[in-house]
Amino acid sequence: MLIEDIRTKLFELQDSGYRDMQVKILPTVEADSIIGVRTPELRKLAKSVAREKAVSEFLNDLPHKYFDEDQLHAFIISEMKDLDKCTAELQKFLPYVNNWATCDQMSPKIFKKHRAELLELIPDWIDSDKPYTIRFGIGMLMEHFLDEDFDLKYPEKVASVRSEEYYVNMMIAWYFATALAKQYDDIIPFIEERRLDTWTHNKTIQKSVESYRITLEQKTYLKTLKIKKQ
């Protein structure tokens, strides 16, 4: 079976020290599910598995037993060259994503050529009740729609999100910090008008101040907009 072959290969590629590090930085993932395979090895394996005739056997085996299998799955989807196939597999997999690493490292290359089709998918992701689906949707807006395809309705959509989930709010802050670096004049009113919840507002400012893409003058001003705790 392909799945057993994949697991055997993953354990052959195990790096115990790397696994220990991953256990610490992936609090939403069960420690026993982390094998500890480094990303370059997973990407290489993903290309090999994608060529297997029985690859659908692996892609349909959800939920996966191991975090590293989730990573492998994400990398296979990211390399798919057929838009419809990629979209179908992504929609099937997203509900099972349970950590920031798999969410953030899954970035289908095909969307670079099909932004219009991607844009049709993003609203449903952001309106999802699953935190990592929301995070993925915001991440796609950040990756693909902060440059020549920027429109104010996109940060409006992100600013409307309210969540108790740490990893959702961190992505919102990341989005707005990146947006400030790329579209400062359009985005600064969201901070001036306190359009985000207090934690996310302050985290956005923190991440912006830490960014090399924000000017010193902008950083100085942003610091004055921080909401002080009562």
DSSP string, 138-171: HHHHHHHSSSTT--THHHHHHHT---S-HHHHHH
How far apart, in whole angstroms, are the C-alpha atoms of residue 93 and residue 69? 12
Q: Which residues have a Cβ under 8 Å from the Cβ of 63 and sit 6 or more positions away?
A: 96
Q: Which residues have a Cβ under 8 Å from the Cβ of 36 and sit 6 or more positions away?
A: 14, 15, 16, 17, 18, 19, 20, 22, 68
How far apart, in whole angstroms, are the C-alpha atoms of residue 38 and residue 36? 6
What is the rounded end-to-end Cα distance, in angstroms, of the chain?
59
pLDDT one-digit tens code per residue, 72-128: 999 999 999 999 999 999 999 999 999 999 999 999 999 999 999 999 999 999 999
How far apart, in whole angstroms, are the C-alpha atoms of residue 115 and residue 96? 24
Q: What is the pLDDT of residue 125?
A: 98
DSSP notation for 98-134: -SHHHHHH---GGGGS-HHHHHHHHHHHHT-SSHHHH
Asked if 196 and 172 count as a contact pair (C-beta separation under 8 A), the reply is yes
Asked if 164 and 134 count as a contact pair (C-beta separation under 8 A), the reply is no
User: How large is the angle between the packed helices 131-144 and 115-126, nearest 10 degrees?
Assistant: 150
Asked if 63 and 75 count as a contact pair (C-beta separation under 8 A), the reply is no
Residue 137 token pair = 């949707």
Asked if 223 and 209 count as a contact pair (C-beta separation under 8 A), the reply is yes
Q: What is the pLDDT of residue 230?
A: 64
How far apart, in whole angstroms, are the C-alpha atoms of residue 26 and residue 14? 17
- pTM of this prediction? 0.96
User: How far is CA 5 from its chain centroid?
Assistant: 28
Q: What is the pLDDT of residue 229?
A: 78
Task: Name the stretches of the chain with pLDDT < 70.
Answer: 230
Q: Nearest-CA neighbor of 56 among 110, 94, 2?
A: 2
How far apart, in whole angstroms, are the C-alpha atoms of residue 88 and residue 139? 19
